[in-house]
Structure 1
């Protein structure tokens, strides 16, 4: 097992432990209303945990050389809108005041050929990472760049030069998974790639490019 997979497995173990403690605490809640709120929170955490398991299995398939995208004509804007809707709901449930904004450049195509399920997994992991470090805002955008489709996720956090780089990559999930998904998308001799850099206006900038 690679280091990235081992770290993800460790995160999953910790998440299961937290969920177990959360469910145990529900038995001691004094009122039906408190119990209902706690059950909703636990359900949300179960969904997030299931997503992490899917990401783990996807990365495992990539390392085994068995990750094969099932590409179709998809709408980049619809994918961004779905991500923003999901994360706004999740952040609200967690009580975190982080704004998510989606932008689409005028040059962005209405459709592109990619595996929506895999792209959703990769970008979801990147948004998760961005929301961990953002102070107030995470922005998502897509555009045509160098003949390919570029998804960009920026946050207004401390950036990479602040010493937070190790924390950003500690799980290995966001970068490793996104890189595997991007690389699996090929066109002739070209294949997708990702990058994580400091943004000129501050914060960090994640980019995923597809041919």
Structure 2
């Protein structure tokens, strides 16, 4: 019985290592450029072992992205627990996104559209984010950082459209993530901020310059 438990623990640990290694390679080289053989070779395991744990590349990519998102959500949840205001949350997300995109090849975003299961999962995640944004906007209004006259539904559509624009126009392939966020996202954000919110944004951007 103990041997079975040890084997199960080993396989679970190996699954995690495979996910981490695969996502690192996907981000660095693009998804298409990385073969299942490459991942197995990097970990010094057999291709057979790889396929026993993950049927194909799409399953591996799906599980890797899901695991990554869950980890990010947990980190954000921990960050928010400290009675953080909306501006602190936005600026923290900015730093996370800059770090994330800095180490991700444009090919990754080009390739990901070829995987329907992954795209369906990402769309579902976006739907959940759109629902959460309404509560976030309300929190910002109560804290005095967002204007009281904003239309929550329209603002939600605006920021969701910016995210879609980033992918559809392949802005990630032509501009740095800092340029995109500073010239599109932050300008839009500035429009819904009060003077109090604008002062926080300006101070942050000045420190980044």
TM-score by length of 1: 0.30
Higher normalized strand content (fraction of residues): 1
TM-score by length of 2: 0.30
Higher normalized helix content (fraction of residues): 2
